[in-house]
Amino acid sequence: MTGVTKIINGNSGKCNGHCKSVENGNCQRKDSTHEENYTYEMIQQTANYLSQRVPFEPKIGIICGSGLGSLAQQLKQPIEFPYSTIPNFPVSTVEGHAGKLIFGFLSNVPVVCMQGRFHFYEGYPLWKCAMPVRVMKLMGVCQLIATNAAGGLHKNYKVGDIMLVKDHINMMGFAGNNPLQGPNEERFGPRFPPMNKAYDKELIQRGIEIGKELGLKDNIHTGVYTCLGGPNFETVAELRALKMLGCDAVGMSTVHEVITARHCDMNVLAFSLITNECILEYDSQSEPNHEEVMDAAKMREELLQKFVAKIIDYINKSRLTQNS
Ligand SMILES: O=P(O)(O)O[C@H]1O[C@H](CO)[C@@H](O)[C@H]1O
């Protein structure tokens, strides 16, 4: 392991025995897949560190997609933790992902917001990308709202549209990569969690209504999201194949977070902001880029803030108060 990994992971750097390239007990391999997964106790340590510094228990966790960090700026009484200061936490390396965990109140509900997420292409294994979801769970979060920027594959989708995720296709899982790989930690959830009811139907329905109330009319949809490993945008042939498979939007995140959240029995709502058209024709002159993704996110900043606030208000009135 590299020195950097040791600091991030809080590990000793000692290999637990399955590594063939061990010198003096220190693992010499540099690939991220070789890292030891977090133990339950490490996640607990992170959750305790935060709980001791935050005077309320967050109920809803929000993950901000690329360029969507302003969702966190509307939090009242914010308490911020740069990821680099949180024990065991990874750090964000992508433009448009500030790298802060922010606690506060939104629509009078205690929430925690990830202003920046972790992606596989940054070099993190999927379990590490999704680790903050488990920290949220141990802090008391029962509802996840995962947001992302995505390319629109469906022919009716336009830049600026919102797609509420009704299902996903775990392409990385097809290739044998999953955040739940490795020994199962029963204290989080079962070895073989179901995934056919991953996305809360009632919240999707309410999300559509809220979108319409906010004037979205034909610009709000329900659809199927898929995550590829990135960081390159897709080829024409890849996009055509994904379309044939039934994908409506494509990105490089969210699926591993949702799987981890469902494993530990969190309720999930996810939505994509369509930030660019997927290019399905060989003679197109356009090329996708991260700047257009960020620009589209900026353009929808205010609307998305209202959208999320209204959804949280609904969750609060319909569920959180009933359970307390
Ligand atoms: O999924 P989020 O984090 O919103 O970001 C999306 O935008 C970036 C590409 O522009 C990729 O990271 C992709 O996953």
pLDDT tens across 148-162, in order? 999 999 999 999 999
Confidence of residue 96 (pLDDT cuts 50, 70, 90): confident
Give how many domains the chain has, as a whole number. Answer: 1
**Is 19 within the bounds of a domain?**
no
The burial class, CB within 10 Å (0-12 / 13-18 / 19+), for 174 is exposed
> What is the rounded CA–CA span in Å between residue 163 and residue 274?
7
Contacts of 9 (CB under 8 A, 6+ apart): 1, 35, 36, 38, 88
pLDDT at 97: 79
**Is 15 within the bounds of a domain?**
no
Report the residue among 114, 171, 253, 275 best suited for mutation to probe ligand 1: largest number of ligand atoms under 8 A from its CB: 253
**Is 260 within the bounds of a domain?**
yes
| Count of residues making up the chain | 324
pLDDT at 34: 62
Looking at residue 153, its amino acid is: L
Q: Can you give the CATH number for the domain in which 265 is found? A: 3.40.50.1580
Mean pLDDT of the chain: 90
pLDDT at 36: 87
Q: Which of 83, 88, 97, 199 is catalytic?
A: 97
Whole-structure pTM value: 0.91
For the cut 70, the answer to whether the pLDDT of residue 98 exceeds it is yes
Nearest-CA residue for atom 10 of ligand 1: 290
Q: Which domain holds residue 64?
A: 45-323
Confidence of residue 109 (pLDDT cuts 50, 70, 90): very high
Per-residue pLDDT tens over the stretch 243-279: 999 999 999 999 999 999 999 999 999 999 999 999 9
Is 70 noted as a catalytic residue in this protein?
A: no
**More reliable by pLDDT, 15 or 237:** 237
For the cut 60, the answer to whether the pLDDT of residue 82 exceeds it is yes
Instruction: Give the number of the atom of ligand 1 that is nearest the alpha carbon of residue 289.
Output: 10
Q: Which of 51, 121, 154, 292 is catalytic?
A: 121
pLDDT at 104: 98
Is 232 noted as a catalytic residue in this protein?
A: no
Instruction: Give the number of the atom of ligand 1 that is nearest the alpha carbon of residue 288.
Output: 10
Determine if ligand 1 sits within 6 Å of the CB of residue 251: yes
Token pair, residue 323, equals 């359970």
pLDDT at 322: 63
**Is 152 within the bounds of a domain?**
yes
**Is 139 within the bounds of a domain?**
yes
Task: Taking residues 201-225, report their average pLDDT.
Answer: 97
For the cut 70, the answer to whether the pLDDT of residue 32 exceeds it is no
Task: Taking residues 275-287, report their average pLDDT.
Answer: 96
Q: Which of 9, 92, 114, 119 is catalytic?
A: 119
Nearest-CA residue for atom 12 of ligand 1: 252
Instruction: Give the number of the atom of ligand 1 that is nearest the alpha carbon of residue 68.
Output: 4
pLDDT at 90: 94
For the cut 50, the answer to whether the pLDDT of residue 178 exceeds it is yes
pLDDT at 8: 27
> What is the rounded CA–CA span in Å between residue 214 and residue 76?
22
Is 32 noted as a catalytic residue in this protein?
A: no
Å from CA of 66 to ligand 1 middle: 5
**Is 134 within the bounds of a domain?**
yes
**Is 39 within the bounds of a domain?**
no
**Is 208 within the bounds of a domain?**
yes
Task: Taking residues 222-241, report their average pLDDT.
Answer: 98
